[in-house]
């Protein structure tokens, strides 16, 4: 629960969830126009999310609210 | 525009996180200082991103895209001539006074430097301005919900206002700031793919250059006369009106943005906040202006990219970004794009409401109505003011409906409030002989002059309520001219009256005036902790971009 007071962790979790949703959608709905846009965007979001979450584990005391 | 389950899921997820942050932070809010000032304990990277994100509201995302379509690359002057240099000035020269004086707000600094009446006047005008800005964000959000989700305009306004109220009421300024950072990433990552797809669809850079009129692809060409550039402005009003008065007035004196730096953990962080924020700010035109230019190229090559008309029958440039999202994004990423727009409006609205409640609580209520109440009492007043601020924003949202470019309306509001205020600050911070009476009457005269100039001129059918002595080519040009005129009047009247009225003793001005305040020593700091080095990097990049896109 304490982790949720670190904004980087919260941002990471948000983009991870959005990225996973988009990734699943891009594979389950290939008939949508330009499915590759969803796929590449999801990969980018997940990568960004992982970086934010990893950064939250390397925190200084003042980074936490 | 047809949204699918995936799009609604992403929008729902965002609302969940936004409200979750508010609920989480509620436990940490115990005093008025926690609620209104975040107890001055926010890390540098958060204050820096919140600093630009507080300005990344409807005016930035929807308004700049609208201006991109209306005026082309000229719109980048708001960044590469205005914002960046003003942010550098704030970080290098003005922040030591704001932070060092321990003032809790910009009006409170005016009280320390001048007197109570100058503070009160500024608090009133600032409160009115934040309500206007907040209302504009709300209007834009409701328009989006009406267009995209098919919701009724009135219902959209109340739903959007309710969500912003929930998280600002629960977590105060910290909740607004934390959400601003989440919103920053969402806006950048949600709109960036649109630029990529749009450029591809328009035939790459060559396609854009071939299909957009040349005048809209330059920064400085055709500036010699208002008739030869798309913005309808001249070099003097652009450089002096926008580049100096409006930009410096907004970025250096508007408490909405300055507040984000004032809640830093120490003075060095407070000074670096606008300087670090300036780096992403330089590249924001790519996200917010380029889509407007892409639309121009697409309109020239394809059908179906025409903008709708507003209720006055004029082209509704505010619909630039929603139109592009609906035409270029598939469902899925469309949900992210729509959420990014919703985020920007909520960010702009929450920023204004939190600034409004701080100024009202400390500068009007505490100083005039109940000076010596408990912290708990001021916390309750701050929370009640949040509700009032949201209700007033709803009223102004209906006023904003009559303007075809929300950016023009905002520039007009800024020219009334920030432009003369910057003259007061310039003289107050850098001239120790500037007197309280000079500042007050100068500020009053500058604001009155702005109102008079607006009443005597017209642009795009707006203004001229007394007479029409001059017609400007565009609303933007009118705002730039009102800005430099009101600034000049304020400056001259303040200086003149200061020559004949009583000045404050020098011992009361230490820490408030440049010549009487010890300088911060930065020479031995590593480059990324040295404000001077950061400012140099920012200025060099900005000058280079001005030359590149001449």
Give the tokens for residue A61: 């005391």
Quick check: B260 and B50 in contact, CB under 8 A?
yes
For residues B127 and B134, give the distance between their C-alpha atoms in angstroms, rounded to a whole number: 11
Q: How far apart are CA B246 and CA B234, in angstroms?
A: 15
The C-alpha torsion from B337 through B343 and B344 to B345, rounded to 10°, is: 120
Q: Which residues pair with B457 in a beta bridge?
A: B470
Q: Do A10 and B331 make contact, defined as CB atoms within 8 angstroms?
A: no
Distance from CA of A22 to the nearest CA of B (A): 6
How far apart, in whole angstroms, are the C-alpha atoms of residue B338 and residue B7?
A: 8
> How many C-beta atoms lie closer than 10 Å to residue B297's C-beta?
23
| A30 pLDDT above the threshold of 80 | no
Q: Mind listing the pLDDT tens digit for each residue in A10-21?
A: 889 999 999 999
Per DSSP bridges, beta strands B457-459 and B462-463 are antiparallel
Helices B5-26 and B333-358: angle between axes, nearest 10 degrees: 30
CA–CA gap between residue B366 and residue B336 (Å, rounded): 42
Low-confidence ranges of chain B (pLDDT < 50): none
pLDDT of residue B454: 86
CA–CA distance, B43 with B189 (Å, rounded to integer): 23
- Alpha-carbon distance of B463 to B128, in angstroms, equals 19
Which residue among B174, B178, B330 sits closest to A34, beta carbon to beta carbon?
B330
Q: What is the pTM of this model?
A: 0.85
Ramachandran assignment for B72, one of left (phi > 0), alpha (psi -120 to 50 degrees), beta (any other): left
Verify whether the Cβ–Cβ distance A10 to B182 is below 8 Å: yes
Task: Give the C-alpha separation, B537 to B196, whole Å.
Answer: 27
Lookup result for tokens 């508007």: B254
d(CA B257, CA B273) in angstroms, rounded, equals 10
What pLDDT was estimated at residue A64? 45
- Bridge partners of B459, per DSSP, are B462, B472
Contacts (Cβ under 8 Å, ≥6 apart) of B374: none
Distance, in angstroms, between B35 CA and closest chain A CA? 13
pLDDT at position B39 is: 60
Mean of per-residue pLDDT scores for chain B? 86
**Residue B150, Ramachandran bin (φ over 0: left; ψ between -120 and 50: alpha; else beta):** left
Residues of A in contact with B41 (CB under 8 A): 62
Angle B51-B52-B58 (CA atoms, 0-180°, nearest 5)? 120
Q: How far apart are the first and last CA of chain A?
A: 13
Q: Chain B contacts of A48, Cβ < 8 Å?
A: 185, 189
Q: Strand order in B470-472's β-sheet? A: B462-463, B457-459, B470-472
Other C-beta atoms within 10 Å of A60: how many?
7
What pLDDT sits at residue B259? 82
- Rounded Cα gap, residues B491 and B509, in angstroms: 20
Question: Which of A11, A35, A65 is facing B185, going by the closest CB pair?
Answer: A11
Residues of A with CB under 8 A from a CB of B: 4-5, 7, 10-11, 14-15, 17-18, 21-22, 25-26, 29, 32-35, 37-38, 40-41, 44-45, 48, 62-63, 65
Tokens of B354: 């939190």
Going B399 to B405 to B407 to B412, the CA torsion angle's sign is negative
pLDDT at A65: 45
| DSSP H helical ranges for B72-203 | 77, 84-89, 95-100, 106-113, 116-144, 153-201
Instruction: Quote the pLDDT of residue B69.
Output: 92
Instruction: Indicate the helix (H) or strand (E) that contains A22.
Output: helix A7-28
Residue in the structure block whose two tokens are 């240099």: B85
Contacts of B547 (CB under 8 A, 6+ apart): none
B495–chain A Cβ distance below 8 A for any pair:
no
């Amino acid at each position: 629960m304490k982790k949720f007071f670190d904004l980087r962790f919260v941002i990471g979790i948000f983009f991870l969830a959005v990225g996973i949703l988009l990734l699943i959608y891009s594979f389950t709905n290939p008939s949508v126009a330009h499915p590759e846009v969803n796929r590449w965007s999801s990969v980018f979001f997940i990568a960004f999310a992982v970086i934010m979450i990893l950064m939250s584990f390397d925190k200084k005391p003042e980074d936490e609210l | 525009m047809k949204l699918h389950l995936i799009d609604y899921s992403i929008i729902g997820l965002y609302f969940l996180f936004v409200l979750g942050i508010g609920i989480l932070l509620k436990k940490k809010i115990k005093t008025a200082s926690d609620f209104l000032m975040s107890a001055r304990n926010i890390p540098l990277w958060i204050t820096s991103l919140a600093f630009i994100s507080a300005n990344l509201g409807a005016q930035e995302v929807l308004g700049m895209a609208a201006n991109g379509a209306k005026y082309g690359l000229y719109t980048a002057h708001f960044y590469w001539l205005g914002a960046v240099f003003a942010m550098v000035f704030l970080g290098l020269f003005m922040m030591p006074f704001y932070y060092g004086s321990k003032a809790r707000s910009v009006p409170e600094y005016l009280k320390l430097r001048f007197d109570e009446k100058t503070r009160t006047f500024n608090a009133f005008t600032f409160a009115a301005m934040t309500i206007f800005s907040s209302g504009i964000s709300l209007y834009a959000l409701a328009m989006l919900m009406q267009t995209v989700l098919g919701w009724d305009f009135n219902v959209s306004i109340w739903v959007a206002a309710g969500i912003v109220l929930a998280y600002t009421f629960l977590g105060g300024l910290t909740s607004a700031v934390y959400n601003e950072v989440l919103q920053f990433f969402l806006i950048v990552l949600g709109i960036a793919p649109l630029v990529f797809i749009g450029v591809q669809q328009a035939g790459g850079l060559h396609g854009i250059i071939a299909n957009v009129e040349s005048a809209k692809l330059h920064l400085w060409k055709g500036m010699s006369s208002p008739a030869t550039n798309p913005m309808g402005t001249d070099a003097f009003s652009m450089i002096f009106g926008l580049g100096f008065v409006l930009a410096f007035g907004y970025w250096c004196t508007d408490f909405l943005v300055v507040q984000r730096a004032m809640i830093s953990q120490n003075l060095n962080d407070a000074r670096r906040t606008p300087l670090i924020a300036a780096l992403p700010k330089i590249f924001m035109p790519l996200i917010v202006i380029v889509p407007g230019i892409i639309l121009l190229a697409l309109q020239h090559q394809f059908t179906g990219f025409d903008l709708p008309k507003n209720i006055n029958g004029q082209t509704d440039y505010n619909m630039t970004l929603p139109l592009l999202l609906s035409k270029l994004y598939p469902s899925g990423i469309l949900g992210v794009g729509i959420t990014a727009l919703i985020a920007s409006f909520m960010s702009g609205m929450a920023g204004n409401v939190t600034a409004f409640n701080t100024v009202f609580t400390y500068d009007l209520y505490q100083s005039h109505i109940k000076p010596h109440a408990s912290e708990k009492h001021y916390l309750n007043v701050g929370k009640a003011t949040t509700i009032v601020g949201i209700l007033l924003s709803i009223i102004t949202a209906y006023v904003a409906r009559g303007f075809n470019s929300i950016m023009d309306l905002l520039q007009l509001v800024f020219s009334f409030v920030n432009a003369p205020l910057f003259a007061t600050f310039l003289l107050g911070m850098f001239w120790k002989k500037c007197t309280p009476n000079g500042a007050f009457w100068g500020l009053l005269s500058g604001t009155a002059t702005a109102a008079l100039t607006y009443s005597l001129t017209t642009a795009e059918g707006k203004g001229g309520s007394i007479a029409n002595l001059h017609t400007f080519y565009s609303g933007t040009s009118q705002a730039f001219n009102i800005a430099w005129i009101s600034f000049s009047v304020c400056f001259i009247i303040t200086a003149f009256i200061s020559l004949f009225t009583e000045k404050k003793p020098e011992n009361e001005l230490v820490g408030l005036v440049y010549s009487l305040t010890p300088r911060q020593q930065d020479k031995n700091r590593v480059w990324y902790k040295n404000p001077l080095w950061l400012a140099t990097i920012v200025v060099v990049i900005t000058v280079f971009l001005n030359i590149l896109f001449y």
